[in-house]
């Protein structure tokens, strides 16, 4: 908020804040002052996901039916981080909420979520889950299934599948190398990337480039504060669904 009042362009990590009240007030100040704001949802800039988005826009996949997003970290963060992170859905799955909004380009009508502790009981003691399942239903009846996990023993797992009337398109995990070792036991591929730093190296560069180009060319930011707000509202609704074990309509948050 201080940067906005000082007239500075803002490039901000997600979420804008853990407090919805503070996010709303900050966005009001940014709108009133008129400074540019870009949220760092870097996964939108991943070349593989960008290609899928373009195919949706061009109609190659047809009318969307379902999207399946898988997001699994190689290992949980420290408990001290978890305690201050806002929880798995606000800290980690929020990227997938933004990706769902980005690909479907419609408003979510209702959500349903389940969360459990399967990896580390200390995460549960810290008040969080380590494994989550979310079903988003959009107003146009597209459904998005999101799976989140804090631990995958084989490395960073980031996959995406989009299914429609004309076909299906999916993004698999890029591997460290394209090499294959073949012997009497079968075909052996390289490993997954270690974590987000190497997996999304290209998208981090592309998002910073997009921010600078928007400033230089005086164009709208490709990822706005409102995009961040929409993803945050989904995280709030999903947490509500998990704790109350029921479908939550997004309209409940606006009452």
Take residue 222 and report the two structure tokens written for it: 């490709």
Nearest Cα neighbor of 99 from 230, 251, 253 is 230
Q: What are phi and psi of 184, to 5 degrees?
A: -70, -15
Query: Are residues 175 and 159 in contact, defined by beta-carbon separation less than 8 angstroms?
Result: no
> Which residue is associated with the tokens 């459904």?
143
* Contacts for 230 with CB less than 8 Å, ≥ 6 apart: 97, 98, 101
Give the class (CATH, top level) of 42-250: alpha beta
If phi > 0 it is left, if psi is from -120 to 50 it is alpha, else beta; for residue 6 that is: alpha
Summarize pLDDT for 62-73 with one digit per residue, the tens.
999 999 999 999
Q: Which residues pair with 113 in a beta bridge?
A: 134
Q: What are phi and psi of 241, to 5 degrees?
A: -60, -45
Summarize pLDDT for 148-159 with one digit per residue, the tens.
999 999 999 999
Instruction: Give the per-residue pLDDT at 255.
Output: 61
Summarize pLDDT for 208-249 with one digit per residue, the tens.
999 999 999 999 999 999 999 999 999 999 999 999 999 999
Q: What count of other Cβ atoms lies within 10 Å of the Cβ of residue 79?
A: 13
Secondary structure letter of residue 122 according to DSSP: H
At 2, the pLDDT band (50, 70, 90 cuts) reads: confident
Task: Output the CA–CA distances (angstroms, integers) from residue 193 to 3, 42, 102, 104, 136, in the order listed.
Answer: 36, 17, 24, 27, 28
Q: How far is it, in rounded angstroms, from Cα 111 to Cα 144?
A: 10
Q: Which residues pair with 168 in a beta bridge?
A: 163
Take residue 234 and report the two structure tokens written for it: 């989904």
Instruction: Give the per-residue pLDDT at 5.
Output: 83
Summarize pLDDT for 100-141 with one digit per residue, the tens.
999 999 999 999 999 999 999 999 999 999 999 999 999 999
């Amino acid at each position: 908020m201080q940067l906005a009042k000082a007239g500075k362009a803002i490039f901000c990590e997600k979420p804008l804040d853990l407090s919805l009240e503070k996010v709303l007030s900050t966005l009001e100040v940014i709108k009133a002052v008129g400074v540019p704001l870009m949220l760092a949802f870097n996964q939108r800039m991943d070349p593989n996901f960008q290609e899928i988005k373009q195919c949706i826009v061009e109609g190659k996949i047809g009318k969307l039916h379902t999207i399946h997003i898988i997001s699994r970290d190689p290992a949980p963060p420290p408990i001290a981080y978890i305690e201050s992170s806002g929880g798995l859905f606000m800290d980690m799955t929020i990227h997938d909420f933004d990706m769902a909004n980005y690909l479907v380009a419609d408003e979510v009508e209702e959500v349903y979520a389940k969360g459990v502790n399967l990896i580390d009981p200390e995460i549960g003691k810290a008040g969080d889950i380590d494994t989550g399942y979310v079903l988003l239903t959009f107003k146009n009846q597209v459904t998005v299934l999101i799976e989140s996990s804090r631990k995958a023993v084989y490395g960073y797992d980031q996959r995406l599948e989009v299914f429609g009337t004309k076909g299906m398109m999916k993004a698999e995990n890029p591997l460290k190398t394209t090499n294959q070792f073949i012997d009497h036991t079968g075909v052996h591929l390289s490993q997954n990337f270690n974590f987000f730093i190497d997996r999304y190296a290209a998208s981090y560069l592309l998002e910073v480039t997009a921010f600078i180009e928007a400033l230089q060319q005086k164009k709208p930011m490709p990822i706005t504060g409102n995009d961040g707000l929409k993803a945050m509202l989904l995280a709030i609704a999903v947490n509500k669904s998990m704790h109350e074990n029921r479908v939550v309509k997004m309209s409940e948050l606006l009452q």
